[in-house]
Amino acid sequence: MASPFLAVDWGTTNLRAWVVGSECRALRSKDFVLGVGKLSPGEAAKHFFDTVRPQMSAEDLPALLCGMIGSNLGWVQVPYLECPIDMAGLQKGLYRVDTLGAPVWIVPGLLCQRPDGGPDVMRGEETHVLGWASAAPVRLKGEHLICHPGTHTKWVRLLDGRLESFVTSMTGELFEVLCKHSVLQVRDSDDVQAAFDEGLSAAGDGGALASRLFTARSRVVGGGMSPDWVKSYLSGLLIGADIAGVPALLGVSLKTPVAVIGDLKLARRYVSALQAYGYAASLHDGVDAVLAGLKTIAEGVLDHERV
């Protein structure tokens, strides 16, 4: 690549930006509290030009953006691409924003048909997942299960470098709602590994989750569990139910390697839980994955722009 570009992962709550150099090395980076969920309609473009570009000293650089910035909450609503898809297909589907100055592209989100019927969607995670795959040749061969934990956890089946299908679980959002707005009376306490493990065990096969959730209260009022254990217990219960049910929904067996990509603290919890269920799980930094994805998508696109 002959010159630098501005790479941006713009989500619902935060924005992270990098200036990527001519040898695909991140020269500088910065986080902004400018998630699209906090912006009014039409504000994204203004913040990009008035705040992000100047603070990154990137006023004249081509820019590549991924995430919720391409949704109806963001700058412009970019149509979804359908699965299965590989990195080349994602690259071909880039949307160029109609704006003056250096070009700006937005990575499209993905749409797939869930194995249990109905559609599922993602925006941003496709760049993390295919970026992770592109970072090592061995990841482009065979079957891999990707877990991208968060507010809306994504479970993705990769086959020979193609993103075949995925399922979204509202695990993180459900955890937040139960902790703050339910009868469970969750205390804000430190993580307790023993309580998390107890929750994993209580998840069983993942079925009857609404009933199993009430045990986070009944164990306390029945005198069998400390109130300080509830938060970690509930985390283990929800994550365990996810692991017990979703991989099978995607047709993935225990023989398939699992890569957990994301915030390392949360990702470590998923790795330990997956291993407890018998999966061979590995931990991967979400920042490395999305940056690898943006770099790979940019290759060829920017070179073509300069021709």
Quickly name the fold that domain 5-139+286-306 has: Nucleotidyltransferase; domain 5 (3.30.420)
Planar angle of CA 269, 275, 279, nearest 5 degrees: 125
Query: Per-residue pLDDT tens for 48-83?
Result: 999 999 999 999 999 999 999 999 999 999 999 999
DSSP 103: -
Query: Per-residue pLDDT tens for 102-157?
Result: 999 999 999 999 999 999 999 999 999 999 999 999 999 999 999 999 999 999 99
pLDDT at 1 over 70: no
Query: Per-residue pLDDT tens for 154-193?
Result: 999 999 999 999 999 999 999 999 999 999 978 888 899 9
Residue with tokens 């970072």: 135
Confidence band of 2 (pLDDT split at 50, 70, 90):
very low
Query: Per-residue pLDDT tens for 244-267?
Result: 999 999 999 999 999 999 999 999
Residue 113 CA to its chain's centroid (Å): 19
Domain 5-139+286-306 matches domain 168-285 at the CATH topology level:
yes
Across-strand partners of 260? 147, 283
Tell me the whole-structure pTM to 2 decimals. 0.93
The CATH code for residues 168-285 is 3.30.420.310
Confidence band of 307 (pLDDT split at 50, 70, 90):
very low
Kindly write down the DSSP assignment for every residue of 217-277, as one continuous string: HHHHHTTSS-GGGHHHHHHHHHHHHHHHHHHHHTT--TTS-EEEEE-HHHHHHHHHHHHHT
Domains in the chain: boundaries: 5-139+286-306, 168-285
